[in-house]
Amino acid sequence: LPLSFKLYDNEGKEVDNLMPGASFPKAKEAFPGALTNSELVSKITETLEKKGYNKETSLVATSLCCDEVNRPLESDLREIYDTNFNMGGLAGFPFGGATSFGAMAAHIPDGGSCLVVYGPHVGVDSTGAVGTVERRGRANGGSCCGSAVAASGYVGSVFKGDAEKAALPEDALDAQQYFVGSMLMPYAERLDAAEEKMKELPYALYDAQTELMGRIVEKSGGAVADGTTAVLGGIQINTPPGYSDYFLPLSFKLHDNEGKEVEDIMWA
């Protein structure tokens, strides 16, 4: 039973934790209430088993940013609900929209239900800095989430009068980034007033995504033939290589097959 695996330099100082999936306390310091991926999966399983969810008849759909650092959570979810359906695009917004939800619902096994997991992501690096993270094989880390940070800069410039609002794009070349900025715009004042903008940014993005996901479920929830839709929203927290990622759950609600919310199933 391996319990620790650490690397030391030639002065005897610990320089790295090599244990796969090790905890990373700085993530919880920055985002109190965050759970490791394994803790999150256990909570989800325990909660949804009581609602009749199982691997044979349940389907999981994710709306997480396309950044490769977000794939471990999907891998963990696949362990309990098989291959995931992907609704997400830049910054985690469900850009697949109502059409993708309807398609996903048509793939649910007969008599089954679906779990939807959505949210923005944010990095916490080895120093505890928020909004950046070390990446595999790179000497220097970078913005995390890059799309979100870029949108925040755009929104801040417009709010301060230093830039004009971007025009609605006529083609798909960079349409997703336009809509990330557009949907973040209502939170410009809140972000401008924040003492720690990189910490506030994922919360603002979560609120924007919750509004959009709510409209998607309301419009297309009726496509779920027999079962229910459990919608878990929160903030995904990426950590340096070798450590477990985290997820801060902010809402967990159950909807009937007409898309109507019927129960708040967030654990205490």
Predicted pLDDT at 232: 98
Cross-strand bridge partners of residue 229: 114, 255
Q: What is the pLDDT of residues 96-145, one digit of tens each?
A: 999 999 999 999 999 999 999 999 999 999 999 999 999 988 888 889 99
CA gap 138, 198 in Å, rounded: 22
- Taking the C-alpha atoms of residue 58 and residue 179, their distance in angstroms, rounded to an integer, is 31
Task: For 223-264, write each residue's pLDDT tens digit.
Answer: 999 899 999 999 999 999 999 999 999 999 999 999 999 999
Cis peptide before 145 (omega within 30 of 0): yes
C-beta neighbour count of 23 within 10 angstroms: 16
Q: Residue 210 corresponds to which tokens in the numbers above?
A: 């919750």
Q: What is the pLDDT of residue 14?
A: 67
Where does residue 160 rank: exposed (0-12), middle (13-18), buried (19+ CB within 10 A)? Answer: exposed
Query: What is the rounded (10 degree) CA torsion for 249, 34, 23, 12?
Result: 150
**pLDDT of amino acid 11:** 82
User: How many alpha carbons lie under 13 Å from residue 27 in its C-beta half-sphere?
Assistant: 24
Mean pLDDT over residues 195-223, rounded?
A: 97
Rounded to whole angstroms, the Cα distance separating 60 from 104 reads 9
User: In terms of Cα–Cα distance, which of 151, 163, 206, 162 is closest to 31?
Assistant: 206
Q: Are strands 121-123 and 229-238 parallel, antiparallel or unpaired?
A: parallel
DSSP 29-97: HHSTT-EEHHHHHHHHHHHHHTTT--TTTEEEEEE--SSGGGHHHHHHHHHHH-SPEE---GGG--TTH
Instruction: Quote the strand ranges of the chain, DSSP E.
Output: 6-8, 14-17, 35-36, 58-63, 85-86, 113-118, 121-123, 132-133, 142-143, 229-238, 246-255, 261-264
Q: What is the pTM of this model?
A: 0.91
Would the pLDDT of 18 be above 70?
no
Q: What is the DSSP letter of 12?
A: S
Q: Which of 212, 70, 203 is nearest to 144 (CA)?
A: 70
